[in-house]
Amino acid sequence: MGKLDNKIALITGGGSGIGKATSLLFAKEGAKIAIADWAEDNANAVAAQIARGAGEALPIKADVAKAADAEHMVAETIRRFGRLDILYNNAGIGNAKALHQMTEEEWDRVVDVDLKGVFLGSKYALPELMKRGGVIVSTASVAGIEGVRHMAHYCAAKAGVILLTKSMAMDYAEHGIRVNCICPGTIGTPLFESGYAHLPPDKQQQALRRWERAHLLNRLGQPEEIARTALFLCSDDASFITGQAIVVDGGFTTGHRLSNAR
Protein backbone atom coordinates (compact mmCIF):
# COMPACT_ATOMS: atom_id res chain seq x y z
CA MET A 1 0.00 0.00 0.00
CA GLY A 2 1.29 3.42 -0.96
CA LYS A 3 0.72 6.61 1.00
CA LEU A 4 -1.12 8.15 -1.97
CA ASP A 5 -2.99 5.16 -3.39
CA ASN A 6 -5.81 6.23 -5.73
CA LYS A 7 -4.97 9.93 -5.37
CA ILE A 8 -4.77 12.32 -8.30
CA ALA A 9 -1.99 14.90 -8.04
CA LEU A 10 -1.15 17.88 -10.23
CA ILE A 11 2.47 19.02 -9.86
CA THR A 12 3.70 22.21 -11.50
CA GLY A 13 7.32 22.45 -12.52
CA GLY A 14 7.14 18.68 -12.50
CA GLY A 15 9.68 18.16 -15.25
CA SER A 16 12.88 18.88 -13.35
CA GLY A 17 14.45 19.41 -9.94
CA ILE A 18 12.10 19.21 -6.95
CA GLY A 19 9.07 18.75 -9.19
CA LYS A 20 10.59 15.77 -10.98
CA ALA A 21 11.64 14.11 -7.73
CA THR A 22 8.15 14.66 -6.33
CA SER A 23 6.40 13.35 -9.43
CA LEU A 24 8.44 10.16 -9.31
CA LEU A 25 7.93 9.68 -5.57
CA PHE A 26 4.18 10.38 -5.66
CA ALA A 27 3.79 7.89 -8.51
CA LYS A 28 5.74 5.28 -6.55
CA GLU A 29 3.37 5.88 -3.63
CA GLY A 30 0.33 5.13 -5.78
CA ALA A 31 -0.81 8.49 -7.14
CA LYS A 32 -1.67 9.29 -10.74
CA ILE A 33 0.27 12.37 -11.76
CA ALA A 34 -0.37 15.35 -14.01
CA ILE A 35 3.01 16.91 -14.74
CA ALA A 36 2.71 20.56 -15.72
CA ASP A 37 5.84 22.27 -17.01
CA TRP A 38 6.67 25.03 -19.48
CA ALA A 39 9.42 22.75 -20.83
CA GLU A 40 7.30 20.18 -22.65
CA ASP A 41 10.21 17.80 -23.31
CA ASN A 42 10.96 17.59 -19.57
CA ALA A 43 7.34 16.83 -18.72
CA ASN A 44 7.20 14.14 -21.40
CA ALA A 45 10.42 12.54 -20.14
CA VAL A 46 9.21 12.33 -16.54
CA ALA A 47 5.84 10.96 -17.64
CA ALA A 48 7.62 8.29 -19.69
CA GLN A 49 9.79 7.38 -16.71
CA ILE A 50 6.71 6.97 -14.55
CA ALA A 51 5.06 4.82 -17.22
CA ARG A 52 8.11 2.54 -17.34
CA GLY A 53 7.58 1.95 -13.63
CA ALA A 54 3.95 0.93 -14.26
CA GLY A 55 2.61 4.27 -13.04
CA GLU A 56 0.29 6.65 -14.85
CA ALA A 57 1.19 10.23 -15.71
CA LEU A 58 -0.08 12.99 -17.96
CA PRO A 59 2.39 15.60 -19.27
CA ILE A 60 0.95 19.08 -19.76
CA LYS A 61 2.71 22.08 -21.26
CA ALA A 62 1.83 25.09 -19.11
CA ASP A 63 3.16 28.47 -18.05
CA VAL A 64 1.73 28.84 -14.54
CA ALA A 65 1.90 32.64 -14.81
CA LYS A 66 -0.81 32.60 -17.49
CA ALA A 67 -4.41 32.19 -16.39
CA ALA A 68 -5.42 30.27 -19.51
CA ASP A 69 -2.59 27.76 -18.98
CA ALA A 70 -3.40 27.33 -15.30
CA GLU A 71 -7.07 26.74 -16.07
CA HIS A 72 -6.10 24.31 -18.85
CA MET A 73 -3.78 22.21 -16.68
CA VAL A 74 -6.47 21.72 -14.05
CA ALA A 75 -9.13 20.95 -16.66
CA GLU A 76 -6.86 18.45 -18.43
CA THR A 77 -6.09 16.69 -15.15
CA ILE A 78 -9.78 16.29 -14.39
CA ARG A 79 -10.57 15.24 -17.97
CA ARG A 80 -7.94 12.49 -17.88
CA PHE A 81 -8.30 11.26 -14.31
CA GLY A 82 -11.81 12.30 -13.31
CA ARG A 83 -10.97 14.44 -10.32
CA LEU A 84 -8.18 16.24 -8.45
CA ASP A 85 -7.04 15.49 -4.89
CA ILE A 86 -3.65 17.20 -4.59
CA LEU A 87 -2.18 20.37 -6.08
CA TYR A 88 1.54 20.98 -5.62
CA ASN A 89 2.39 24.53 -6.71
CA ASN A 90 6.09 23.92 -7.21
CA ALA A 91 7.05 25.82 -10.37
CA GLY A 92 9.50 28.62 -9.69
CA ILE A 93 12.28 30.71 -11.16
CA GLY A 94 14.88 33.12 -9.80
CA ASN A 95 17.96 35.11 -10.73
CA ALA A 96 20.38 37.31 -8.84
CA LYS A 97 20.45 41.04 -9.54
CA ALA A 98 20.63 44.22 -7.49
CA LEU A 99 17.26 45.95 -7.27
CA HIS A 100 18.37 49.21 -8.90
CA GLN A 101 19.67 47.25 -11.91
CA MET A 102 16.54 45.10 -12.24
CA THR A 103 14.15 45.77 -15.08
CA GLU A 104 10.42 45.89 -14.55
CA GLU A 105 10.13 42.84 -16.79
CA GLU A 106 12.59 40.86 -14.64
CA TRP A 107 10.69 41.77 -11.48
CA ASP A 108 7.34 40.90 -13.05
CA ARG A 109 8.45 37.54 -14.41
CA VAL A 110 9.78 36.25 -11.08
CA VAL A 111 6.75 37.48 -9.13
CA ASP A 112 4.37 36.21 -11.81
CA VAL A 113 5.77 32.67 -11.80
CA ASP A 114 6.63 32.31 -8.12
CA LEU A 115 3.61 34.04 -6.54
CA LYS A 116 0.95 34.65 -9.16
CA GLY A 117 1.46 31.07 -10.33
CA VAL A 118 0.46 29.82 -6.88
CA PHE A 119 -2.61 32.06 -6.96
CA LEU A 120 -3.68 30.90 -10.42
CA GLY A 121 -3.07 27.21 -9.81
CA SER A 122 -5.01 27.36 -6.56
CA LYS A 123 -7.78 29.47 -8.06
CA TYR A 124 -8.61 26.89 -10.69
CA ALA A 125 -7.99 23.83 -8.49
CA LEU A 126 -10.06 24.96 -5.52
CA PRO A 127 -13.55 24.49 -7.02
CA GLU A 128 -12.68 20.85 -7.70
CA LEU A 129 -10.99 20.33 -4.31
CA MET A 130 -14.00 21.85 -2.54
CA LYS A 131 -16.19 19.00 -3.79
CA ARG A 132 -14.55 16.37 -1.58
CA GLY A 133 -11.62 17.97 0.21
CA GLY A 134 -7.96 17.76 -0.68
CA VAL A 135 -4.51 19.22 -0.24
CA ILE A 136 -2.60 22.18 -1.61
CA VAL A 137 1.14 22.39 -1.06
CA SER A 138 3.37 25.12 -2.49
CA THR A 139 7.11 25.59 -2.69
CA ALA A 140 8.09 28.75 -0.82
CA SER A 141 11.67 29.26 0.40
CA VAL A 142 13.83 30.28 3.32
CA ALA A 143 14.17 33.42 1.17
CA GLY A 144 10.57 34.13 2.12
CA ILE A 145 11.55 34.13 5.80
CA GLU A 146 14.75 36.19 5.71
CA GLY A 147 16.51 38.31 3.14
CA VAL A 148 18.99 37.11 0.55
CA ARG A 149 21.32 39.54 -1.20
CA HIS A 150 20.45 40.47 -4.78
CA MET A 151 17.22 38.43 -4.62
CA ALA A 152 14.67 41.08 -3.66
CA HIS A 153 12.08 39.99 -6.23
CA TYR A 154 12.46 36.32 -5.29
CA CYS A 155 12.29 37.07 -1.54
CA ALA A 156 9.17 39.21 -1.99
CA ALA A 157 7.45 36.51 -4.04
CA LYS A 158 8.30 33.67 -1.66
CA ALA A 159 7.24 35.70 1.39
CA GLY A 160 3.95 36.20 -0.44
CA VAL A 161 3.59 32.44 -0.92
CA ILE A 162 3.87 31.91 2.84
CA LEU A 163 1.12 34.38 3.72
CA LEU A 164 -1.03 33.27 0.78
CA THR A 165 -0.74 29.74 2.18
CA LYS A 166 -1.90 30.80 5.63
CA SER A 167 -4.79 32.83 4.23
CA MET A 168 -6.00 29.98 2.01
CA ALA A 169 -5.74 27.55 4.93
CA MET A 170 -8.10 29.77 6.89
CA ASP A 171 -10.52 30.25 4.02
CA TYR A 172 -10.84 26.62 2.92
CA ALA A 173 -10.48 24.50 6.05
CA GLU A 174 -14.27 24.32 6.23
CA HIS A 175 -14.21 22.53 2.87
CA GLY A 176 -11.81 19.88 4.12
CA ILE A 177 -8.82 21.37 2.31
CA ARG A 178 -5.42 21.52 3.98
CA VAL A 179 -2.95 24.14 2.69
CA ASN A 180 0.75 24.22 3.56
CA CYS A 181 4.02 25.30 2.02
CA ILE A 182 7.61 24.10 2.14
CA CYS A 183 10.53 26.46 2.70
CA PRO A 184 13.63 24.74 1.32
CA GLY A 185 17.16 25.88 1.93
CA THR A 186 19.56 25.71 -1.00
CA ILE A 187 18.75 22.62 -3.07
CA GLY A 188 20.97 21.10 -5.75
CA THR A 189 18.66 21.55 -8.72
CA PRO A 190 19.19 22.60 -12.35
CA LEU A 191 17.80 26.03 -11.39
CA PHE A 192 20.48 26.49 -8.73
CA GLU A 193 23.25 25.22 -11.01
CA SER A 194 22.18 27.51 -13.85
CA GLY A 195 22.91 30.54 -11.69
CA TYR A 196 26.63 29.74 -11.81
CA ALA A 197 26.92 28.18 -15.26
CA HIS A 198 28.57 31.33 -16.62
CA LEU A 199 31.51 31.00 -14.20
CA PRO A 200 34.70 29.01 -14.82
CA PRO A 201 34.79 25.62 -13.03
CA ASP A 202 36.96 26.80 -10.13
CA LYS A 203 34.64 29.72 -9.43
CA GLN A 204 31.64 27.40 -9.62
CA GLN A 205 33.21 25.19 -6.96
CA GLN A 206 33.94 28.20 -4.75
CA ALA A 207 30.33 29.33 -5.00
CA LEU A 208 29.09 25.82 -4.24
CA ARG A 209 31.26 25.53 -1.13
CA ARG A 210 30.12 28.95 0.08
CA TRP A 211 26.49 27.85 -0.11
CA GLU A 212 27.25 24.49 1.47
CA ARG A 213 28.97 26.13 4.45
CA ALA A 214 25.95 28.36 5.02
CA HIS A 215 24.02 25.26 6.10
CA LEU A 216 24.73 23.64 9.46
CA LEU A 217 24.78 20.22 7.80
CA ASN A 218 27.55 21.54 5.50
CA ARG A 219 25.87 20.51 2.26
CA LEU A 220 23.09 21.40 -0.12
CA GLY A 221 19.75 19.68 0.13
CA GLN A 222 18.63 17.21 -2.53
CA PRO A 223 15.37 17.37 -4.50
CA GLU A 224 14.34 14.00 -3.06
CA GLU A 225 14.48 15.44 0.47
CA ILE A 226 11.94 18.10 -0.43
CA ALA A 227 9.85 15.50 -2.28
CA ARG A 228 9.65 13.41 0.89
CA THR A 229 8.43 16.46 2.80
CA ALA A 230 5.78 17.08 0.15
CA LEU A 231 4.71 13.43 0.39
CA PHE A 232 4.30 13.76 4.14
CA LEU A 233 2.21 16.93 3.82
CA CYS A 234 0.00 15.44 1.11
CA SER A 235 -0.58 12.14 2.93
CA ASP A 236 -2.79 11.25 5.85
CA ASP A 237 0.33 11.37 8.05
CA ALA A 238 -0.16 15.16 8.06
CA SER A 239 -3.93 15.10 8.54
CA PHE A 240 -3.80 17.66 11.39
CA ILE A 241 -1.37 20.07 9.73
CA THR A 242 -2.59 23.12 7.83
CA GLY A 243 -1.55 26.73 7.39
CA GLN A 244 2.11 25.99 8.05
CA ALA A 245 5.40 26.91 6.40
CA ILE A 246 7.58 23.83 6.90
CA VAL A 247 11.29 24.74 6.87
CA VAL A 248 13.58 22.09 5.34
CA ASP A 249 16.93 23.86 5.21
CA GLY A 250 19.75 21.89 6.82
CA GLY A 251 19.97 24.53 9.53
CA PHE A 252 20.33 27.49 7.16
CA THR A 253 18.00 29.73 9.18
CA THR A 254 18.97 28.43 12.63
CA GLY A 255 21.44 31.16 13.58
CA HIS A 256 23.96 33.71 12.44
CA ARG A 257 26.00 32.56 9.44
CA LEU A 258 29.32 33.40 11.15
CA SER A 259 28.71 30.51 13.51
CA ASN A 260 28.68 28.15 10.52
CA ALA A 261 32.25 28.86 9.39
CA ARG A 262 34.63 25.94 9.78
Residues 6+ apart with CB under 8 A from 101: none
The residues, any chain, with a CB within 8 Å of residue 39's CB and separated by 6 or more, are: 15, 16
Query: How many residues are there in the chain?
Result: 262
For the CA atoms of 185, 190, 193, 195, what is the dihedral angle to 10 degrees?
-90
Type of residue at 102: M
Q: Check if the beta carbon of residue 226 is closer than 8 Å to that of residue 21.
A: yes
Helix boundaries (H) for the chain: 17-28, 40-52, 67-81, 104-111, 117-129, 152-172, 190-194, 201-213, 223-234
DSSP state of 113: I
Amino acid symbol at 99? L
- Is 88 among the residues known to form the active site? no
- Which residue out of 124, 154, 172, 196 is catalytically annotated? 154
Burial class (CB in 10 A: 0-12, 13-18, 19+), 196: middle
Instruction: Cite the active site residues.
Output: 154
